[in-house]
């Protein structure tokens, strides 16, 4: 019954979404067809100003429609779990500078100054480079669009800590001196197609950008939030997990090393013998990486303490203690907390990503795993080149 309730709720949400999409697509279409017909039927009677005016409406509505289609397609990819993410160590400041640069012209047109105060020494993020740009461009373009002439947009960044510890997250914020968001509208800001009453304003938009951004950042293991004071301005922030290099740095004393022969040990915790065999075959092709296997989480943890492997590959669906629990145990012990653990799962990609990164896995691979990607991950953590 619970499954049915969930599925009913999902169907209702889908129907509502589709009806919003169709409404949003029809509105600009109405302008395109309406003004197009007028031009077709009355072109000889219309003044040149009117002709140019109508043509302008058609082009602007067409452009709006194109943006909308792009956003909806992107959203449907993300919602269906078909969006591709490549998580790698991303050095953010140059990318932020690039995004700021892309918006310079637009900001100049509306007399808004862009200030990049991001910290050049920010630790690398564990994220998707393209998605990072997409998220930054969305926040920056909103901060410019909903600003005022003579206003500013300031980007800042900092490592988040809970007062004592580094939380492994970095916060990037975009502050503007614009119109702000009415208090009674703030709860609706991440709703798709909701433009918070700016539907008929001169400022172009689809109302999907922030919804999309929230979905993206959550799938990337991060979060988004904002503070806004009407007529004063808003600050939007996004939190990203930091990269493996950064985490390794923080715990340098325990960082795994090659053994005396220059070999890196990789421990694979997996109950399925066929999967273990397959992994052994993959390792036969690698130089300076040695595979050791364990067939349950308990013995895997013991081996991790004894062997101090450079990397642990962890199956999630283990009998008894699950991979998630085993990862938590490894993180609790000083002896094993700095060993990167990569999850190998058979679950849905987006589910794993969110849960996996939140649970502190350094990366994850879904089964059936792509061997090239697997080798890439092993090489990243052990610097073991391919034979
Ligand atoms: P769009 O800009 O396409 O309308 P978004 O999803 O990016 O859509 O934003 C939704 C709404 O939130 C906007 O229409 C606007 O009313 C409000 N908003 C977003 N960013 C800001 C901002 N920096 N300052 C004021 N209002 C904002």
What predicted TM-score, i.e. pTM, was given to this entire model?
0.62
Q: Is 243 in the pocket of ligand 1 (CB under 6 A)?
A: no
**Tell me, what DSSP letter sits at residue 359?**
T
Query: How many angstroms does the Cα of residue 142 sit away from the middle of ligand 1?
Result: 6
Query: How many angstroms does the Cα of residue 137 sit away from the middle of ligand 1?
Result: 13
Q: Tell me the per-residue pLDDT of 351-386, one tens digit each, with 9 for 90 and over.
A: 556 666 667 788 888 777 778 788 888 877 876 554
The angle subtended at Cα 306 by Cα 301 and Cα 308, nearest 5°, is 85
With 0-12 CB in 10 A as exposed, 13-18 as middle and 19+ as buried, what is 49? exposed
Q: Is 179 in the pocket of ligand 1 (CB under 6 A)?
A: yes
Q: Where are the alpha helices (DSSP H) in the chain?
A: 2-42, 48-79, 92-109, 129-145, 209-219, 244-250, 273-284, 297-307, 323-332, 349-358, 371-382
Give, for all 387 residues of the chain, the pLDDT tens digit.
888 988 887 787 778 778 878 888 888 898 899 999 999 998 889 999 999 999 998 998 998 888 888 888 888 888 776 777 888 889 999 999 999 999 999 999 999 999 999 999 999 999 989 899 999 999 999 999 999 999 999 999 999 886 666 778 999 999 999 999 999 999 999 998 888 888 778 888 888 899 999 999 988 888 999 999 999 999 999 999 987 655 444 333 334 456 666 778 999 999 988 888 889 988 887 877 889 999 999 999 999 999 899 999 999 889 999 888 999 999 888 889 889 999 888 765 555 566 666 677 888 887 777 787 888 888 778 765 544
Contact assessment for residue 367 and residue 387, using Cβ atoms and an 8 Å cutoff:
no
Q: Is 139 in the pocket of ligand 1 (CB under 6 A)?
A: no
Half-sphere exposure of residue 91: CA atoms within 13 angstroms, side-chain side: 4
Q: Is 192 in the pocket of ligand 1 (CB under 6 A)?
A: no
> What's residue 349's pLDDT?
54
**Which of 241, 243, 188 is CA-nearest to residue 217?**
241
> What's residue 124's pLDDT?
92
Query: How many angstroms does the Cα of residue 8 sit away from the middle of ligand 1?
Result: 30
Does an H or E element contain 90, and which? strand 88-90
Q: Is 195 in the pocket of ligand 1 (CB under 6 A)?
A: yes
Query: How many angstroms does the Cα of residue 235 sit away from the middle of ligand 1?
Result: 12
Residues 233, 81: Cα–Cα separation, whole Å: 35
Query: How many angstroms does the Cα of residue 79 sit away from the middle of ligand 1?
Result: 21
Residues 46, 55: Cα–Cα separation, whole Å: 12
> What's residue 144's pLDDT?
97
Q: Is 209 in the pocket of ligand 1 (CB under 6 A)?
A: yes
Q: Is 181 in the pocket of ligand 1 (CB under 6 A)?
A: yes
Q: How far is CA 160 from CA 127, 227, 239, 319, in A?
A: 16, 17, 9, 36
Total Cβ atoms within 10 A of residue 363: 21
Q: Residue with the nearest Cα to atom 3 of ligand 1?
A: 205
With 0-12 CB in 10 A as exposed, 13-18 as middle and 19+ as buried, what is 259? middle
Preceding omega of 368 cis (within 30 degrees of 0): yes
Q: How far is CA 15 from CA 1, 18, 192, 278, in A?
A: 21, 5, 13, 44
Query: How many angstroms does the Cα of residue 91 sit away from the middle of ligand 1?
Result: 27
The angle subtended at Cα 215 by Cα 61 and Cα 353, nearest 5°, is 145
Q: How far is CA 157 from CA 122, 164, 175, 185, 289, in A?
A: 8, 19, 11, 27, 37
Q: How far apart are the first and last CA of the chain?
A: 54
Query: How many angstroms does the Cα of residue 104 sit away from the middle of ligand 1?
Result: 19
Q: Is 144 in the pocket of ligand 1 (CB under 6 A)?
A: no
Q: Is 207 in the pocket of ligand 1 (CB under 6 A)?
A: yes
Q: Is 189 in the pocket of ligand 1 (CB under 6 A)?
A: yes
Atom index in ligand 1 nearest the CA of residue 195 equals 14
């Amino acid at each position: 019954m619970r499954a049915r309730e969930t599925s009913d709720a999902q169907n209702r949400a889908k129907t509502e979404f589709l009806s919003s999409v169709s409404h949003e697509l029809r509105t600009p279409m109405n302008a395109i067809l309406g003004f197009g017909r007028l031009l077709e039927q009355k072109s000889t009677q219309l003044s040149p100003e009117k002709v140019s005016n109508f043509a302008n409406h058609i082009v602007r509505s067409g452009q709006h429609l194109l943006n909308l289609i792009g956003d909806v397609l992107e959203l449907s990819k993300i919602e269906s779990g078909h969006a591709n993410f490549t998580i790698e160590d991303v050095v953010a400041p140059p990318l932020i500078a690039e995004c700021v640069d892309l918006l310079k012209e637009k900001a100049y047109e509306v007399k808004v100054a862009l200030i990049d105060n991001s910290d050049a020494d920010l630790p690398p993020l564990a994220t998707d480079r393209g998605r990072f740009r997409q998220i930054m461009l969305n926040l920056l373009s909103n901060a410019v669009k909903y600003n005022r002439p003579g206003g500013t947009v300031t980007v800042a960044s900092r490592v988040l800590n809970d007062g004592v510890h580094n939380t492994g997250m970095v916060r990037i914020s975009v502050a503007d001196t614009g119109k702000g968001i009415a208090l009674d509208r703030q709860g609706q800001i991440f709703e798709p197609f909701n433009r918070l009453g700016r539907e008929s304003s001169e400022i172009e938009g689809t109302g999907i950008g922030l919804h999309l951004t929230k979905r993206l950042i959550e799938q990337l293991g991060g979060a988004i939030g904002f503070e806004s004071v009407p007529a004063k301005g808003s600050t939007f922030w996004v939190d990203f997990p930091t990269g493996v290099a950064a985490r390794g740095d923080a715990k340098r004393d325990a960082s795994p090393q090659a053994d005396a022969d220059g070999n890196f040990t990789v421990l694979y915790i997996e109950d399925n013998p066929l999967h273990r065999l397959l992994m052994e075959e993959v390792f036969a092709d690698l130089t300076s990486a040695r595979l050791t296997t364990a067939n349950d989480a308990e013995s895997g943890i013991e081996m991790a303490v004894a062997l101090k492997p450079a990397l642990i590959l962890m199956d999630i669906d283990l009998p008894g203690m699950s991979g998630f629990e085993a990862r938590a145990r490894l993180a609790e012990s000083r002896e094993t907390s700095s060993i990167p653990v990569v999850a190998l799962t058979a679950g849905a990609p987006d589910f794993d990503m969110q849960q996996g990164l939140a649970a502190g896995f350094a990366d994850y691979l879904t089964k059936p795993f792509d061997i090239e990607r697997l080798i890439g991950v092993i090489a990243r953590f052990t610097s073991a080149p391919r034979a």
